[in-house]
Each structure stands twice: as C-alpha cells, then as structure tokens.
Amino acid sequence: MIIAVDGPAASGKGTIAKALARHYGLPHLDTGLLYRAVALTVRRLELDPAVEADAVAACDFAEDLLADPELRDDAIGQLASIVSAHPLVRAALLQRQKRFARQPGGAVLDGRDIGTVIAPDADAKLFVKATPQVRAQRRHKELRGHGSGLSFDKVLADIRARDARDSSRSAAPLVMAQDAALLDTSFLSIEASVQKAIALVEARR
C-alpha cells in the first residue's frame, strides 16, 4: 500500500505521515528533507539558490546530511522552497522518491507533490491543511522549544511567503490531487488528526 500525504508547511502532515507509517508498519520518507539537504548544501558551498545550475550541483549531497539537525532551521525551509522551484532540482530528486514509493510492501511519503507527481497511483492520498495562523502558532512553539527567538509575526510572514512560493511555482506546485481526501487539522489535536487520517485511509484502500 502506498500512502501519499501532502500539504503546506506546519500543517501536521509530517506527524500524520509518521503515525500512519507506524500504524501500518510501512517505511516513511519525509521528502521535504531532500529539498532541505539541497538548501543546506547550497548555503555551505556558498552557491546561489536562485541559479538553477548551482542548486542542481547541490543535489549531489552526502547521505549523512539527511540526519543534520540544521535541516530543521526555519531559514533552511525558506531556502528549500527557493531551490525546489527549479525543474532540474525536482528532476534530480524524482527517481529516488519514486523508487522509495515503489518498494515491495509499500510506503508512506509526505511532501507537496506526492499524490500528483511522485505517486499518482497511490492507494490513499491525504491533503492536510490548517489555517496560516494555526500553523504559525505550531511552528512558533516548536522553534521556541529549540531556543529560537523568532517572533510570531515573523514566523507567520515566513509561512505565508513559503505558501505563496510553493503554490505559484510552475514545476509541481502545491495543489491537492483530485482524488485526495482533505484533512483540516486546524481545530484537531494530534491524536484526533491521526485517528481521522487512519479512518480516511481505511475508507480509501
């Protein structure tokens, strides 16, 4: 069984995807980490994220980078949304994600284009959303827990900027697949969101 979980930043998609993977005993890939690894490589090599060839050169990152805590930084999320808009960057990361989705026994992948591009034939597709205010509150709390002093207003502005970039790009923009089930987590606890996600998957497979 392939489960595709898409949605904007801090919507709860990562938590839900992880919980679904545990529930069904499937491997899980957070595809945002791949774009974040490209972004971190661009920064470390002092490349220009706006230049497609520079961003493509950074796709050849070392595997152990995927465990680097710096990937979680807000600034790296912003940079990831810049490098991820380049079609050649998306092409460089495509086969790796498709291979993960096609492994025997199935998989859970979360990102922006899983149900539309990576696994259009997924058995269950969820599109997870929440209001920008709720997502900014969650992200603000999480960042504060890691010692970041970013203000709520800055976090909200960053979320809106990332939404706009991810939704308006021409290469694999953030859109809900026609056959996806919508899960709005704005007013749900984590536990309730996970239960609802399992119910939606059960209804679809």
**Under rule CB under 6 A, which residues in 43-82 are in contact with ligand C5P?**
77, 80-81
Q: Which of 16, 17, 35, 42 binds ligand C5P (CB under 6 A)?
A: 35
Work out whether 28 is an interface residue with ligand C5P (CB under 6 A).
Answer: no
CA-only gyration radius of the chain, Å = 16
Work out whether 113 is an interface residue with ligand C5P (CB under 6 A).
Answer: yes
How is 51-119 classified by DSSP, letter by letter?
A: SHHHHHHGGG--GGGGG-GGGG-HHHHHHHHHHTTSHHHHHHHHHHHHHHHTSTT-EEEEESSIIIII-
Work out whether 4 is an interface residue with ligand C5P (CB under 6 A).
Answer: no
Q: Exposed e or buried b for every residue in 82-111, given b needs 16+ CB within 10 A?
A: bbbbbeebbebbeeebeebbeeeebbbbbb
CA angle 169, 86, 128 (to 5 degrees): 50
Work out whether 138 is an interface residue with ligand C5P (CB under 6 A).
Answer: no
Sort residue 181 into left (φ over 0), alpha (ψ -120 to 50) or beta: beta
Using the minimum distance from each CB to ligand C5P, give the nearer residue, 99 or 199.
Answer: 99
Q: What is the distance, to the nearest Å, from the Cα of residue 132 to the centroid of all Cα atoms in its chain?
A: 16
Q: Which of 31, 41, 116, 193 binds ligand C5P (CB under 6 A)?
A: 31
Q: Which of 37, 73, 74, 111 binds ligand C5P (CB under 6 A)?
A: 111
Work out whether 162 is an interface residue with ligand C5P (CB under 6 A).
Answer: yes
User: How near is the Cβ of 25 to ligand C5P at its closest, in Å?
Assistant: 23
Report the amino acid identity of residue 131. Answer: T
Work out whether 125 is an interface residue with ligand C5P (CB under 6 A).
Answer: no
As given in the structure block, the two tokens for residue 189 are 């606890």
Q: Which of 36, 129, 138, 140 binds ligand C5P (CB under 6 A)?
A: 36
Q: Which of 3, 4, 9, 108 binds ligand C5P (CB under 6 A)?
A: 9
Q: Which of 12, 54, 92, 112 binds ligand C5P (CB under 6 A)?
A: 112
Question: Is 9 a known ligand-binding residue?
Answer: yes
CA distance 85 to 87: 6
Q: Residues marked as binding?
A: 7-15
Positions that interact with ligand C5P (CB under 6 A): 9, 31-32, 35-36, 77, 80-81, 84, 111-113, 162, 166
